Chains A and B, each alone.
Chain A
Amino acid sequence: DVKVTQSSRYLVKRTGEKVFLECVQDMDHENMFWYRQDPGLGLRLIYFSYDVKMKEKGDIPEGYSVSREKKERFSLILESASTNQTSMYLCASSSPEGWNEQFFGPGTRLTVL
Chain B
Amino acid sequence: ILNVEQSPQSLHVQEGDSTNFTCSFPSSNFYALHWYRWETAKSPEALFVMTLNGDEKKKGRISATLNTKEGYSYLYIKGSQPEDSATYLCAPNAGGTSYGKLTFGQGTILTVHP
Binding site for B on A (CB under 8 A): 4, 30-31, 33, 35, 40-45, 48, 50, 56, 58-59, 90, 94-96, 98-107
Contact = CB atoms under 8 A, between A and B. Distances in A.
B99 A48 contact: yes
Given A99-B32, A100-B32, A59 B89 contact: no
Contacts of A44: 104
Given A99-B32, A100-B93, A90 B100 contact: no
Contacts of B107: 42
Nearest to B50: A99
A106 B42 CA distance: 6
Interface in B70-114: 89, 93, 95, 99-107
A53 to B, nearest CB: 14
Given A42-B104, A42-B105, A104-B43, A99 B99 contact: no
Contact of B106 (A40, A94, A105): A40
Contacts of B105: 42
Contacts of A90: 43-44
Nearest to B99: A50
B7 interface: no
Contacts of B95: 100
24 contacts: A30-B99, A31-B99, A31-B100, A42-B107, A43-B44, A44-B104, A45-B102, A50-B99, A50-B100, A56-B99, A59-B1, A90-B43, A94-B100, A99-B32, A99-B34, A99-B93, A100-B32, A100-B93, A100-B95, A101-B34, A101-B46, A104-B45, A105-B43, A106-B43
